[in-house]
Chains A and B, each alone.
Chain A
Amino acid sequence: EADIYQTPRYLVIGTGKKITLECSQTMGHDKMYWYQQDPGMELHLIHYSYGVNSTEKGDLSSESTVSRIRTEHFPLTLESARPSHTSQYLCASSYGGLREQFFGPGTRLTVL
Protein backbone atom coordinates (compact mmCIF):
# COMPACT_ATOMS: atom_id res chain seq x y z
CA GLU A 1 0.00 0.00 0.00
CA ALA A 2 1.43 3.36 -1.08
CA ASP A 3 1.95 6.00 1.59
CA ILE A 4 0.18 8.83 -0.15
CA TYR A 5 -2.82 10.47 1.42
CA GLN A 6 -5.57 12.72 0.18
CA THR A 7 -8.15 14.63 2.19
CA PRO A 8 -11.02 15.01 2.05
CA ARG A 9 -12.11 11.86 0.23
CA TYR A 10 -15.47 13.41 -0.65
CA LEU A 11 -16.46 17.08 -0.78
CA VAL A 12 -19.77 18.69 -1.70
CA ILE A 13 -19.61 22.46 -1.84
CA GLY A 14 -21.50 25.43 -3.21
CA THR A 15 -20.51 27.60 -6.16
CA GLY A 16 -18.05 30.37 -5.38
CA LYS A 17 -16.42 28.73 -2.38
CA LYS A 18 -12.65 28.47 -2.04
CA ILE A 19 -11.42 24.94 -1.50
CA THR A 20 -8.09 23.25 -0.91
CA LEU A 21 -7.52 19.57 -1.63
CA GLU A 22 -4.73 18.14 0.46
CA CYS A 23 -2.11 15.62 -0.68
CA SER A 24 0.76 14.28 1.37
CA GLN A 25 3.30 11.52 0.83
CA THR A 26 5.75 9.97 3.25
CA MET A 27 8.00 8.27 0.70
CA GLY A 28 10.37 11.20 0.14
CA HIS A 29 9.47 11.36 -3.56
CA ASP A 30 10.70 14.40 -5.43
CA LYS A 31 8.00 14.47 -8.11
CA MET A 32 4.31 14.97 -7.38
CA TYR A 33 1.30 15.23 -9.69
CA TRP A 34 -2.40 16.13 -9.78
CA TYR A 35 -4.72 14.40 -12.23
CA GLN A 36 -8.38 15.00 -13.00
CA GLN A 37 -10.53 11.97 -13.77
CA ASP A 38 -14.15 12.05 -14.88
CA PRO A 39 -16.24 8.85 -14.62
CA GLY A 40 -15.37 6.42 -17.37
CA MET A 41 -12.75 8.73 -18.76
CA GLU A 42 -9.00 8.82 -18.88
CA LEU A 43 -6.87 10.72 -16.41
CA HIS A 44 -5.61 14.14 -17.41
CA LEU A 45 -2.54 15.73 -15.85
CA ILE A 46 -3.35 19.22 -14.53
CA HIS A 47 -0.26 20.04 -12.41
CA TYR A 48 3.10 18.55 -11.54
CA SER A 49 6.14 19.42 -9.49
CA TYR A 50 9.77 18.38 -9.82
CA GLY A 51 10.53 19.36 -6.24
CA VAL A 52 10.22 22.10 -3.64
CA ASN A 53 9.27 25.48 -5.15
CA SER A 54 8.75 23.88 -8.57
CA THR A 55 5.31 23.71 -10.16
CA GLU A 56 4.23 23.24 -13.77
CA LYS A 57 0.92 23.04 -15.57
CA GLY A 58 -0.08 19.79 -17.22
CA ASP A 59 -1.74 19.07 -20.51
CA LEU A 60 -5.27 19.84 -19.29
CA SER A 61 -5.96 23.48 -18.59
CA SER A 62 -7.21 24.01 -15.07
CA GLU A 63 -8.28 27.02 -13.03
CA SER A 64 -6.74 25.45 -9.96
CA THR A 65 -3.37 26.37 -8.48
CA VAL A 66 -0.82 24.33 -6.57
CA SER A 67 2.12 24.94 -4.26
CA ARG A 68 5.11 22.86 -3.16
CA ILE A 69 6.64 24.40 -0.06
CA ARG A 70 7.56 21.06 1.49
CA THR A 71 8.67 17.88 -0.25
CA GLU A 72 5.87 15.84 1.24
CA HIS A 73 2.98 18.24 0.67
CA PHE A 74 1.32 19.27 -2.62
CA PRO A 75 -2.05 20.98 -2.04
CA LEU A 76 -4.40 22.02 -4.85
CA THR A 77 -6.55 25.14 -4.47
CA LEU A 78 -9.64 26.37 -6.30
CA GLU A 79 -10.26 30.05 -5.48
CA SER A 80 -13.88 29.97 -6.65
CA ALA A 81 -15.47 26.60 -7.24
CA ARG A 82 -17.88 26.12 -10.15
CA PRO A 83 -20.06 23.16 -11.20
CA SER A 84 -17.63 22.54 -14.09
CA HIS A 85 -15.02 21.65 -11.46
CA THR A 86 -17.04 18.61 -10.39
CA SER A 87 -14.74 15.64 -10.90
CA GLN A 88 -12.38 13.24 -9.16
CA TYR A 89 -8.92 14.57 -8.36
CA LEU A 90 -6.04 12.12 -7.97
CA CYS A 91 -2.68 12.97 -6.46
CA ALA A 92 0.43 10.93 -7.27
CA SER A 93 4.14 10.92 -6.55
CA SER A 94 7.26 9.29 -7.95
CA TYR A 95 11.00 9.26 -7.46
CA GLY A 96 13.49 9.89 -10.19
CA GLY A 97 13.04 9.29 -13.92
CA LEU A 98 10.85 6.63 -15.47
CA ARG A 99 9.68 5.21 -12.18
CA GLU A 100 6.13 4.21 -11.42
CA GLN A 101 3.81 6.79 -9.95
CA PHE A 102 2.10 6.03 -6.65
CA PHE A 103 -1.47 7.28 -6.43
CA GLY A 104 -3.57 8.46 -3.54
CA PRO A 105 -7.21 7.33 -3.13
CA GLY A 106 -8.57 10.49 -4.72
CA THR A 107 -10.94 13.29 -3.74
CA ARG A 108 -14.37 13.26 -5.33
CA LEU A 109 -15.49 16.89 -5.61
CA THR A 110 -19.06 17.96 -6.31
CA VAL A 111 -19.81 21.65 -6.80
CA LEU A 112 -23.50 22.55 -6.63
Chain B
Amino acid sequence: AQSVAQPEDQVNVAEGNPLTVKCTYSVSGNPYLFWYVQYPNRGLQFLLKYITGDNLVKGSYGFEAEFNKSQTSFHLKKPSALVSDSALYFCAVALNQAGTALIFGKGTTLSVSS
Protein backbone atom coordinates (compact mmCIF):
# COMPACT_ATOMS: atom_id res chain seq x y z
CA ALA B 1 0.00 0.00 0.00
CA GLN B 2 1.20 3.48 -0.79
CA SER B 3 1.88 5.57 2.27
CA VAL B 4 3.73 8.40 3.92
CA ALA B 5 5.16 8.22 7.41
CA GLN B 6 6.27 10.97 9.75
CA PRO B 7 7.90 9.05 12.59
CA GLU B 8 8.01 11.93 15.09
CA ASP B 9 4.85 13.45 16.53
CA GLN B 10 6.87 16.37 17.91
CA VAL B 11 10.26 17.92 17.33
CA ASN B 12 11.74 20.41 19.78
CA VAL B 13 14.65 22.67 18.88
CA ALA B 14 16.18 25.84 20.24
CA GLU B 15 16.09 29.00 18.19
CA GLY B 16 19.17 29.30 16.00
CA ASN B 17 19.79 25.56 15.88
CA PRO B 18 19.29 23.48 12.74
CA LEU B 19 16.05 21.53 12.48
CA THR B 20 15.02 18.36 10.70
CA VAL B 21 11.50 17.00 10.30
CA LYS B 22 11.50 13.45 8.97
CA CYS B 23 9.38 11.88 6.26
CA THR B 24 9.56 8.48 4.60
CA TYR B 25 7.38 7.21 1.80
CA SER B 26 6.29 3.99 0.17
CA VAL B 27 4.93 4.29 -3.37
CA SER B 28 5.06 2.33 -6.56
CA GLY B 29 6.49 4.29 -9.45
CA ASN B 30 7.95 7.79 -9.24
CA PRO B 31 7.30 9.67 -6.02
CA TYR B 32 6.04 13.23 -6.20
CA LEU B 33 6.63 14.69 -2.74
CA PHE B 34 5.40 17.80 -0.97
CA TRP B 35 5.81 19.59 2.35
CA TYR B 36 3.06 21.78 3.80
CA VAL B 37 2.90 23.80 7.02
CA GLN B 38 -0.21 24.55 9.09
CA TYR B 39 -0.33 27.41 11.59
CA PRO B 40 -3.06 27.45 14.27
CA ASN B 41 -6.55 28.16 12.88
CA ARG B 42 -5.15 28.44 9.37
CA GLY B 43 -5.23 26.29 6.27
CA LEU B 44 -2.17 24.48 5.01
CA GLN B 45 0.52 26.45 3.18
CA PHE B 46 2.79 24.95 0.55
CA LEU B 47 6.51 24.91 1.39
CA LEU B 48 8.22 22.93 -1.35
CA LYS B 49 7.98 19.94 -3.67
CA TYR B 50 10.12 17.34 -5.38
CA ILE B 51 9.04 16.18 -8.80
CA THR B 52 12.30 15.32 -10.55
CA GLY B 53 15.86 16.59 -10.86
CA ASP B 54 18.11 17.89 -8.08
CA ASN B 55 17.72 15.94 -4.85
CA LEU B 56 18.00 19.10 -2.74
CA VAL B 57 14.91 21.21 -3.07
CA LYS B 58 14.70 24.75 -1.74
CA GLY B 59 11.40 26.23 -0.67
CA SER B 60 9.68 29.03 1.20
CA TYR B 61 10.84 30.65 4.45
CA GLY B 62 14.38 29.22 4.18
CA PHE B 63 13.28 25.59 4.27
CA GLU B 64 14.81 22.89 2.11
CA ALA B 65 14.30 19.16 1.72
CA GLU B 66 16.52 16.34 0.59
CA PHE B 67 15.13 13.56 -1.54
CA ASN B 68 16.88 10.24 -0.92
CA LYS B 69 15.66 7.49 -3.21
CA SER B 70 17.65 4.68 -1.61
CA GLN B 71 16.29 5.50 1.84
CA THR B 72 12.85 6.50 0.50
CA SER B 73 13.02 9.68 2.54
CA PHE B 74 12.22 13.34 2.04
CA HIS B 75 13.33 15.10 5.22
CA LEU B 76 12.59 18.80 5.74
CA LYS B 77 15.46 20.93 6.99
CA LYS B 78 16.35 24.45 7.96
CA PRO B 79 19.83 25.62 8.97
CA SER B 80 18.68 28.01 11.70
CA ALA B 81 15.27 27.67 13.35
CA LEU B 82 13.06 30.63 14.28
CA VAL B 83 10.40 30.74 17.00
CA SER B 84 7.96 31.68 14.23
CA ASP B 85 8.64 28.31 12.56
CA SER B 86 6.65 26.62 15.33
CA ALA B 87 3.74 24.93 13.55
CA LEU B 88 2.38 21.60 12.31
CA TYR B 89 4.24 20.18 9.31
CA PHE B 90 2.81 17.67 6.85
CA CYS B 91 4.61 15.57 4.29
CA ALA B 92 2.53 14.38 1.32
CA VAL B 93 2.94 12.25 -1.77
CA ALA B 94 0.96 12.54 -5.01
CA LEU B 95 -0.18 9.24 -6.42
CA ASN B 96 -0.56 10.41 -10.00
CA GLN B 97 0.83 13.02 -12.34
CA ALA B 98 -2.45 14.90 -12.22
CA GLY B 99 -1.62 15.63 -8.60
CA THR B 100 -5.21 15.04 -7.62
CA ALA B 101 -4.66 12.30 -5.07
CA LEU B 102 -2.41 13.41 -2.24
CA ILE B 103 -1.67 11.13 0.69
CA PHE B 104 -0.67 13.08 3.79
CA GLY B 105 1.38 11.96 6.75
CA LYS B 106 -0.01 12.43 10.26
CA GLY B 107 1.95 15.60 10.77
CA THR B 108 4.82 16.64 13.03
CA THR B 109 4.51 19.48 15.51
CA LEU B 110 7.63 21.63 15.50
CA SER B 111 8.27 23.65 18.63
CA VAL B 112 11.09 26.19 18.57
CA SER B 113 12.05 27.67 21.92
CA SER B 114 13.70 31.04 22.43
Contacts and interface: CB of A to CB of B under 8 A. Distances in A.
A90 B43 contact: yes
Given A42-B90, A43-B90, A98 B32 contact: yes
Nearest to B42: A105
A96 B51 CA distance: 14
Interface in B68-114: 90, 94, 97-107
Contacts of B94: 98
Interface residues of B, number: 24
Interface in A12-34: 31, 33
A33 to B, nearest CB: 8
The size class of the interface chain A forms with chain B is: 20 to 34
Given A98-B32, A98-B99, A43 B43 contact: no
B45 A40 contact: no
A96 to B, nearest CB: 8
Given A40-B107, A41-B106, A42-B90, A97 B99 contact: yes
Contacts of B100: 31, 33, 48, 50, 56
A52 interface: no
A102 B60 CA distance: 14
B92 to A, nearest CB: 8
